[in-house]
Every structure is written in structure tokens, then in C-alpha cells.
A and B are shown apart, each in its own frame.
Chain A
Amino acid sequence: MDTLHAHLEALFDDLELVIGWETGYEPLRPTPAFLRSREDLSRLVWNPLCAPNLSVYLPGILKDAKETGKKIGVCLKGCDSRSLGALVQEGFVERERLYVVGLPCPGTVDPEALAEARKSSAPVTHVSFRDGLLAITSRDGTEEIELERVLARRCRRCRHPNPLHADVILGDPVPPRRTEPSFSDVDAVEAMSLEERRAYWEEELSRCLRCYACRNACPLCVCRDRCLAESRTPKWTTQRDGVRDKFLFHMIHALHLAGRCTECGECERVCPVGIPVALFKEKMARIALELWDYQAGTDPAATPPLQTFDPSETGI
């Protein structure tokens, strides 16, 4: 973390803005930070609780930013960097206007699992991380918890802990937990009979509030306030309460992410009612991989498979 501060300090004159994480209302929940002055840099934090994928802000910030010649600095984990790659591929982000600080990521914490693992329930006053151990301090003292025990689902299947497309990598590379794509969670759903699967999703999606947090957190949901789920013309979904329209919304989200989803898992992380919505997109990502050997966001020069017309394409 000290290297992060020092590195950005040294560069700050060339930067318009630095996007990173800072401690939120409690140390367990760092929130995105947008730092415009040198003094603020000290607020930056970096640890396995820095979950938000900051690439989601880039299209909007770049659109509004004045051309000062200065770059916008952004801290990205491995999975976040793939999202950046996909945004570059689709022309939403001009890579040369950014200074990308890549942070090799040990994995992020699933807050539910952490609450479960803690013995104390007292408010946390301090968090630190070393050698795979989280040290959580509260008035009851300091507890040490293995990160591996409280890892988020997305991180268990992560193959890209080390950022791509970065200007600088701060920290030692992390050995990936997976070297091959893993879709075991999708497999588990697909192993269900059709009836079971339908019941499973009806049950899960019946909780959906249509708060659209999943959509808003997705770096590749680029329609912003033109979302089809809220459009009157054309009218794909109604505002009726019921699993039918919720389902349709999630199908739209999944299909819009076909061949584009970078598997960052943000949609699932932010869901206030804990619906595993990333599974839909993981299924799409698997199809893209099997059909075109394509992984969104890994090659900024590649054309996304569904965004081209190639009459000689076969096998589809």
C-alpha cells in the first residue's frame, strides 16, 4: 500500500484524477474514491476488501473530463482490467487517456462468509492483510482469518488475478487459482432437471427487487439510462411485479452481455438479496469460449464476436 501511495505521489502532477478505494463507513467496506488533490492520496486503501470494479466509472468520467492533456489514474485488479479491455475493444474508453495502476489481487472477500467466520460481531475498527491472513480488529480484540475461507465466489474461479493492459504493476504477481476456465457452478445448475432448474430460478428471482444494482455495477452495461428494462418504446418488460418480468430483465441483461461479459462478478456481488445472477453471464461466457475461443477483454484489439458480420462464419 505504501508503494501505491508513493507511486501516485510521484506521478500526481501528470494526473487529472485518481480513482481508487478508500475506507467507507466501516473498514470492511471500502468504497470508490475519486481523488483530485495530492493530499487526498493518503486516503487510498488496497486490500482484499476493495471489491468494487472501478472500470465501471471510466466511460462516464472520460466523456465528461475536459481535455487537459493530463491522464486519469485508475487502480484495477486483475478481473477489473479485463473489463477495461472490453471497454477499449468497444470504443467506450480511450486507453491512452488513462494511467492504469495494476494491482495483483490475492482475492476479494465475501462479506457474508466473513461475518459467518468471525467470532465477534462488534463493529470493526481496523483491517489489515498479510500472508493470506486477514487481521480484523474490533473492541473484542484482533481475529486472524484465512482469506481462502472467506473468498468471494468470483475469486474462487479467477484465472486473471494479475492485471492486463496496465501501465504499471505494483506488487508481486499472484499465482492464479485456476489456469483453466472453470464453470462448475454453471454445471451444477445445468445438472438439475428442467423442472428443478425452473423452480430454482423462480425461487431465486422472486426475491429480485428490480433495484438494478446488478446492472448499474456492470462495467459493460453501457446503455446507462437507456436501459431496455425501463423503456416504453419498445416495451419489452412491464413494471408489473412478478417473476415473469424479472426473469425477462435478467435474460435481457445476460443476452446483452453475451460475448462481452468479463466475469468480474460485480452484478452478483452488489445484489442486495443475494441472487447468483452472474451464473447467467458465466453461461454466456462459456458459450463464447467454446464457440469462438473468445475471452472478452483479454485482447484490446480483438473484435467482439457478436459485433461483426462475417458471412463465412460457420458452426453457429
Chain B
Amino acid sequence: MRIGVFVCQCGTNIAGTVDTRAVAQRALDYPDVVFATDYMYTCSEPGQQEIQNAIAEHRLQGVVVAACSPRMHEPTFRRAVEKAGLNRYMFEMANIREHVSWIGQDRAANTLKAMELVRMAVEKLRRNEPLFASEVPINKRVLVIGGGVAGIQAALDCADAGLDVVLVEREQSIGGKMAKLDKTFPTIDCSSCILGPKMVDVAQKENITLHAYSEVESVSGYIGNFTVKIRKKATYVDWDACTGCGLCMEKCPSKKTVDRFNEALGVTTAIQIPFPQAIPKKARIQKDACRYFTTGKCKVCQKICPTGAVHYDMEDREVVEEVGAIIVATGYDLFDPAPYGEYGAGRYPDVITGIQFERILSASGPFGGHVKRPSDGKEPKDIVFVACVGSRDKSVDRPYCSGICCMYIAKQAILARDHLPGVNCYVFYMDIRSPGKNYDEFVRRAIEEYGVQYIRGRVGKIYPNGDRMVVQGADTLLGAQVEVEADLVVLATGVESSRGAKELAEKLRISYDQYGFYMESHPKLRPVETNTAGVYLAGACQGPKDIPASVAQGSAAAAKVLALFARDTIATDPQVAGVLESACIGCGKCLSVCPFGAIQWKTLRDGSRKADVLETVCQGCGLCNATCPPKAIQLRHFTDDQILAELDALCA
């Protein structure tokens, strides 16, 4: 093989602590190296041109670039060598920046290490083989998981572009948290007025298939061709027949059912439509509350239903959808304030959470929009808001900022004053975080126009005094203890990852951080992609976000899907596993470890069975190779022999 070595100076990034000239010079001693040079910026246009010229001039068959991490520039250089007529896999990169120049100051040692890394790359390249991608057709349907505002936006954008969309929502209605909000910051427009039309659009678009009250059971396949099993949970009401008339709800005798949509502030019936604007507007029986299911007697709803939609013997059903891309928009859940025993949430009825207060403010809420306190229905005269309950607090394992609470507290205080002009609002806060467009102005309005009193400090304790609550805390600006008497205390509970987020991530094979938020592929440059090709993120499932950011990310994810679907086929990555049949003993260990189900059996003419890799399903993780005892299954471009050659070069 005729190999050319290009050592990059990366300005002074590398040349500052590595003698790049010497590294290039030394490379000429390595086997098969016929050309070596160093260059100021190898990734620049002229740098790439230099590689291409050298390939032509020196009839190179393989190229090593010693520069930065392959993560950014390997694709750049692969394209460059390909343009000059080489196969893109006849290229190796030695990372002498992140692995050398940036981490050591000793120029002599660095130079030596760079030489060794180049030598390893040369030895690997000598064993490389040209690899070729194949093209597989793309199934241009998209699955959106989660019907909050982010998922709705993504689904509508995809549908507007003409794609077939499958939307899976685990609750009975789409809408997510936004459907529960009263008004939204920073413009104070009514949440259901702006979300409602979008929800209706979802129902009306013919190319959106909505599976509500459904969950993703399993996902198999790969970018362009996923197979998704969806479990449609039993609702005991035939949704094709149900017209959403609500007669059943009027007659159902089980009227003490906790109303989850109203955050347990009110009661509803066992058969229920969660809220008037629900999409789909269909009834469902909550089994544990239903008289028929608990005592065997009742069936009132079945008798009353004019379309005969109620079926007590309904069972979960599985449907299978084939899609080419997946957008995950499963949103978030809220911190349970129980660990803060001293705040008394759950113990005192008038200590509530922010989302409960949204329901109190809402005209469709449990009190019809009259601001009253849950205990006795009295109008509060003093309301205290406590920020950062389950945010920025290591002691409850929630060190991160939830991002939305400062803003929704200001909003709720303003709305409380709008509803009850005489009410006094106090806010205990750590810092005010309001960096969005018009956000800081909004908080200032709360303070200056609405007279909301901000007290900087943590709350230590909340306890009852007669029929009022006493909130005891520190005012760190005054350096004094303060006590505020209140009729109602609102805990701004923080954002946490959606319940079940990790299990779903395992099914999708995407990564999540320690708190269960999904990981984007690159925090700056690939914010909606995941590391699993064909799976994208939108909304608060990736981290705490407000509505504008969630909607923007919904549209961004849709744009990514549309870009993917702009082509008819997709090139597969040839860096996958392959089986050397003569060496395979048919032990099946690779089949059992492959996380992607990419290996199947194949029977040869002599009747023996051998492992066989489905190249389009294989993700190149290498588990099979590590497990295979005779090493019959090898990962292309990372074969044992290639890696052993690198080790030999290092140990030589």
C-alpha cells in the first residue's frame, strides 16, 4: 500500500506543544508510508486540496491525517479522499490534539506520543479494506410519541408537509401540561385558546392517525424502517361509536372519583371525558372507580349511552405501525414536594403546587375560575409563592434549574391580582431567572405594576396558625428572619423527567442523563437529534423548557424528518458486523447479546447453522464481536486484526 501522512498544526493548537514537522518526518520511516508532510490547517480548503494533490501525485492508496478528534472532521476528510478517487474507508485519523497537545505541556513527550499515534493509524490503515454502503428505501411515515404542545407542533408540521403521521399519546386526550394551564407568560394569552385550535387540527387532519390512551410497546428496525408496536389500552368505551355527548357522565353514580385533570382539586365520575376541549373527545371508564368493575352491579352508563358504545369486556389491543422516523415529545412531570416535609404539602390543604393553582385560575377548573382556597372555599387575602421547590437543590437530587418556575410564579401572581385586586402576593425566591424575550419586563411588571412583593431567601417552615398558614423564611437581603401569614401557599414545584422516560428510552435505544432527560446528539450543534439515527427530540423530554422553546423544537424536529424524507433511499453504514462462516461454530451467543436483534440464523447446505447479520439493523456496537468465542463475527473497519495491529505498533 502507498500511504500518505498529513500532520496538522491546527494553528498553534497542535504545533504549540507538538513538533509536527518531526512527526511527519518520522512517519516516513513507517512501513508503506511514501509521503508525509505537516500543514497549518489540514481541514481548510487548501489543506484538503493538498491531500487530493498528493493522492494524485504520489499515487497514494491510503491517507492518515493526524489532527483533531474524528468526531468533527472525519467526515470532512473522508469526503476529500473520496473526491480524489479513494474509497472513504482507506482513511485513518490520529487524534493528536484532544489526546496530545491539549492535555500535555511537555513538547518532547507530546511529539513522541503523536508519533506513536500516527504509527498506530498507519498500521491500522495497512489492514483497512474498501467498504461500500448500500441503499435502502425510506418509509416516509413518522411516529410522534407524546401529544403535548411540542408533539402536536411536530405532528402538524409534518402533516402540513404531506407526511403520514402517527401520534401516540398515553393519556386519554392530547394537550399535555399546556392543556391544564390558564394563561401563558409573557403575553397572558389564554392557554386553551391558543392550544385548542392546534388540537382540533390534529383531529381533523386526515393524514394524522391519533392513538390516544396508548403506549409504545416495542420498537425494532432502524432509520428509514422502524416497526413500532403500540398498545391501545382498554377504555371500555368504543371510541368509534362514542360521540362525546357526556350523558354517561351525568348519570354515573360514582361521583367521588378523584379528578386527575384538575390535579385532585375536584371530583369527577368513573366514566369521564377529562375536559371539554379534549381531543379525542371520548369517554373512558376508570376501572378502579367504576361500580360495575368493583361490585359487579351498575351498568348505568351502558344503559344510558345512546350509541351503545360502552363495553365492559374490552381488552387492550395491539396495533403495529411502520414508520421511517420517530419524534419523541414525551414532556415532563412535576416534582413531588413530599421530601420537603417542613412545607407540609399534602398535609395542609391550603399548601398547593403551581400546577394546582393553574387549575384554580382556570375558568374550566374546579372552582370555575374563582380564586378560592381548597380548605374552605374562602377567597385568600394573602398568597405566598415559594420558588425552587425541587429545583437547584442537591439535597433532593435536583441540582438543575427548572427554567419555567420564576416565570410562571410572576404570571400566577399577576393573574391572582387580576382576579382578586385586593390580594397580597409574596414570592420567596433564590434568584429570578427570566432571560427570554420580554421575560424580564414581565417580571418587572409583576413587581412594579402589580405590587407583588419579592423576598429573597429560602423558606424554612410552613405551619398552620388558626385557619391561616405561617410561612417562615430568611430574607437574605435584609439579613433577617421573616414570617408571612397567608391563606394560600403555592409551591413552585420543579420539572422532572416524564414518568417512564427511561423505559421508553431503552425501547428507542436513546441515551438519557442521570435525571432521565433525553440526551441530544450534541448540546450545541445537534440539539434535536439523538445518537440513534432517525430518532429526534422535541420539547421538555430533553430538558426543562417553556412553551415557545418546546414549539420551536417541535418544528425543528419536523424539519429534520422532512430533510431525511427528502430522499427516497438512505445509505447504510458499512461499519457493521459480518460473519466469517467457516469460523462460526453456531453457538448463538452473538444472537443472545445483540441489543438490536440484528443477527439471525442461516442454514448452510450441509445443514449446519451459522450466524447471519442483518446489515441494515446492525448498529456496529461490537457486542457480538466481544462475545463470539472464535471471533468469527467481526466488526468491519474495527476488526480484531486491525486493532491488534494498532496494539502491536504501540507495544513494539
Contact = CB atoms under 8 A, between A and B. Distances in A.
Interface in A267-304: 303
A272 B145 CA distance: 64
A227 B630 contact: yes
Majority secondary structure, A binding face: loop
A307 B630 contact: no
Contact of B630 (A90, A226, A311): A226
B585 A309 contact: no
B632 interface: yes
B397 to A, nearest CB: 16
A307 B644 contact: no
B629 A222 contact: yes
A10 interface: no
A193 interface: no
Contacts of A130: none
A235 interface: yes
B640 A223 contact: no
A236 interface: yes
A208 B414 CA distance: 84
A230 to B, nearest CB: 10
Contact of A234 (B588, B623, B627, B631): B631
A235 B589 contact: no
Nearest to B640: A234
A239 interface: no
A223 B585 CA distance: 6
A98 to B, nearest CB: 19
Interface in B351-406: none
A91 B629 contact: no
Identify the interface centre among A92, A303, A306, A309: most chain B CB within 10 Å of its CB.
A309
Q: How large is the interface on A (under 10, 10 to 19, 20 to 34, 35 or more residues)?
A: 20 to 34
B640 A226 contact: no
A312 interface: yes
B334 interface: no
A311 B630 CA distance: 25
Contact of A307 (B583, B589, B595): B589
A235 B642 CA distance: 10
Contacts, number: 57
Interface size class of B (residues with CB under 8 A): 20 to 34
Interface in A199-224: 222-224
B593 A231 contact: no
A74 B92 CA distance: 55
A234 B644 contact: yes
B161 interface: no
A184 interface: no
A308 B585 contact: no
A306 B628 CA distance: 11
A311 B510 CA distance: 11
Given A228-B629, A234-B644, A311 B506 contact: yes
Given A236-B644, A311-B506, A222 B585 contact: yes
B587 A90 contact: yes
Interface in B572-606: 580, 583-585, 587-589, 592-595
Given A90-B587, A223-B585, A309 B631 contact: no
Interface of A: 90-92, 222-224, 226-228, 231, 233-236, 256, 303, 306-309, 311-312
14 contacts: A222-B629, A223-B629, A226-B585, A227-B630, A233-B580, A233-B641, A234-B639, A234-B644, A236-B644, A307-B589, A307-B593, A309-B592, A309-B623, A311-B506
Interface of B: 506, 580, 583-585, 587-589, 592-595, 623, 627, 629-632, 634, 639-641, 644
Interface pairs A-B: 9 shortest CB-CB: A234-B640, A226-B630, A309-B595, A223-B630, A234-B641, A307-B592, A256-B629, A223-B629, A309-B593
